[in-house]
Amino acid sequence: MSSPSESLTFPWFDPPGNTPKEKLAIVQLAYGIPTIIFMLFLFVFLGCSKKYSGSFYRLVQVDLLTNILCWLNTWISLRSMDLQLGIVFVKSLEYHVPGLWNISSFLINFFMNMQFCSAASMSLHRLSSILLFNHYEKFWSRFYIPIAIVFCFYSCLPQIGGETPKISLVNDTLLYTFNPRVISRFTIVVAIFSVVYFILLLSLGISVSIIASNRFQEANVTDVVSKKLTKIALSYGFVYSGILGWTILNTVQGHFKILPDSFTSVSYTMMVVASDLVSHMTLALPYILLIFDSNIKNDLRKPKEWSSAVVAST
């Protein structure tokens, strides 16, 4: 056995069947797959329609793509390990694409950083639309792709020099390797980033809300589109800050045990479901768009109405 300061390796055996985690994973697939399909549709739909040519919808597309890739990535290195069929899936991946699981493990925290940047950019977009009304659209339309590239580069930085868990396939057995000390230290780093992100997102959301409210009242603004986009950005920012708050609470509980043990037993389940609803694995954005964006709602309703009219005339 290696010393505590070194990496540990042990075989990863098939998990027992019919466990709460396995049942939860099945539920997550049941609501996750339709939502991912809907997100893919929205990504293409927003890019093809001239009605949604504004720079805000380009940021929405960046976020949709980020969240789609994030959700798919979690089923490689995170959620699949709780399923008997998932272990077969990981073995097949490692056999045909060695090292893919390790890349996916690295990307888990990459997406946490990337999703914060994406959520923050929406709030910054709305803030610039209020304070720099004559210039913001030109800036965001021209630079949203370079900004997204910068976000990707930044999201890799916090993990440089770290050591994520790794898996290798040897004689049809998955070997799981990790360094307890590095993992413990990295957990603290993730918690610190979560605190900073939580404060920044909350501050941005409150600032946008106050400034937008005052500016609209002072100018007697009745711009429905601007108000609608502001509501989308605020809702998404506040919802994502919720998952960061939950991450912080879980980290504090793991190190200091300030809550009863019963909290720990249900925290994983609540955490994964909550994370689907927001954005470190979020599936919330398409539903926020449907709630606040009447144009999208009406455009998606039209094919159904046309279909009903055709059936009625027939």
Of 40, 60, 50, 67, nearest in space to 126 by CA: 60
Strands 8-12 and 166-170: unpaired
Residues 273-291 have pLDDT tens digits of 545 544 334 677 777 777 7
Sequence-ordered list of residues with C-beta below 8 angstroms from that of 52, at least 6 positions apart, any chain: 45, 46, 295, 296
pLDDT the model gives residue 248? 64
Give me the domains of the chain, ranges plus CATH numbers: 9-298 (1.20.1070.10)
Residues 16-26 have pLDDT tens digits of 766 777 777 77
pLDDT the model gives residue 250? 62
Can you say whether the dihedral through the CA atoms of 269, 183, 8, 259 is positive or negative? Answer: negative
State how far the alpha carbon of 290 is from the alpha carbons of 231, 254, 297, in Å.
Answer: 12, 37, 6
Residues 133-176 have pLDDT tens digits of 888 899 999 999 999 999 999 998 877 656 778 898 888 888 88
Pairwise CA distance, residues 53 & 249, whole Å: 40
Sequence-ordered list of residues with C-beta below 8 angstroms from that of 290, at least 6 positions apart, any chain: 296, 297, 300
User: Helix 55-77 and helix 136-156: axis angle, to 10°?
Assistant: 20
pLDDT the model gives residue 42? 92
Give the containing element (helix H, strand E) for 158.
none
Pairwise CA distance, residues 23 & 87, whole Å: 15
Give the containing element (helix H, strand E) for 176.
strand 173-178
pLDDT the model gives residue 133? 82
Q: Mean pLDDT of all residues in the chain?
A: 77
User: Which residues of the chain fall below pLDDT 50?
Assistant: 1-4, 265, 274, 277-281, 305-314
Strand partners, 8: 178
Q: Are 149 and 155 in contact (CB under 8 A)?
A: no
pLDDT the model gives residue 11? 86
pLDDT the model gives residue 307? 45
Sequence-ordered list of residues with C-beta below 8 angstroms from that of 236, at least 6 positions apart, any chain: 63, 119, 122, 279, 284, 285, 288
pLDDT the model gives residue 239? 66
Our CA angle for 196, 202, 207, nearest 5°, is 125
pLDDT the model gives residue 64? 92
